[in-house]
Amino acid sequence: MAKRAEATDHTRRRIEAALIRLLGSRPYNGITIVEIAAEADVAARTVQRHYRTKDDLLLDVCLRRTQSVTEQLQDLSAKSAQRLIRSLVRAQFDFYEQNDAECWALHSRAAEAPKMRDALHTLIDGRISDLTDLMARWPDAWSVDGSLAARTLVALTSFPAWRGFTESGRFSPAKAAAEVTDILCQRLLRPSHS
């Protein structure tokens, strides 16, 4: 039974990797299940057995990848609110830089696919909740209400914000992270914690 589960997991990873490779060179809407299957070296029916639709596949890829950022946040041992902000921005912006095509496909598709939109809202709500819990370590550090601070952190570390800062060479990813960190620290932290 364990070998079968391992084989299933291996096939799913191959299919996900195939979609990611294809997204590196083509827009999401131009990719078909047949092309994903060919890239993964499996039958189209195999892809459909694991993922009902192409959207389900993209959603699974994105959820799996965002799990790593969530785990980083949970393991965060920041010693101050300022370091929390710096670590959060760096983790999110590094993630977007490494997964730009997948994030772009998910955000673009969410406008048309309720399942994608709902998944994005769930991810955002989860990030706000996680951040609120983390921010409670420094209750006196915040110049605004904790809920507003968490929502602001999520908004300015969102994929659309990252894209706005880095698209067309406006800022390098590192400079974008530094700018957003400065904005967040100035806006959210009391002067004695900046």
Instruction: With a cut of 70, say whether residue 1 has pLDDT above it.
Output: no
pLDDT of amino acid 119: 82
State the Cα–Cα distance between residues 48 and 29, nearest whole angstrom: 17
Question: DSSP letter at 64?
Answer: H
pLDDT of amino acid 64: 76
Query: Tens digit of pLDDT for each residue in 173-193?
Result: 999 999 999 999 999 999 886
For the chain, the structural domain boundaries read: 1-51, 54-193
State the Cα–Cα distance between residues 10 and 152, nearest whole angstrom: 38
Query: Tens digit of pLDDT for each residue in 48-96?
Result: 999 988 888 888 887 777 777 767 666 666 788 998 899 889 989 998 9
Query: Tens digit of pLDDT for each residue in 105-143?
Result: 888 877 777 877 888 888 888 888 888 888 898 999 999
Question: Which residues make Cβ contacts (< 8 Å) with residue 163, sequence separation at least 6?
Answer: 96, 104
Angle at 39 between CA 36 and CA 42, to 5 degrees: 80
Instruction: With a cut of 90, say whether residue 157 has pLDDT above it.
Output: yes
Task: Looking at mean pLDDT, say which of 22-36, 118-132, 143-157 comes out highest.
Answer: 143-157
The H or E element containing residue 6 is helix 2-23
Task: Name the superfamily (CATH) of residues 54-193.
Answer: Tetracycline Repressor, domain 2 (1.10.357.10)
Long-range contacts of 45-53 (CB under 8 A, 24+ apart): 46/11, 46/15, 47/15, 50/8, 50/11, 50/12, 50/15, 51/15
In CATH, the number for domain 1-51 is 1.10.10
pLDDT of amino acid 153: 94
Q: What value does the mean pLDDT take over residues 36-59?
A: 91
User: What is the end-to-end Cα distance of the chain in Å, rounded?
Assistant: 54
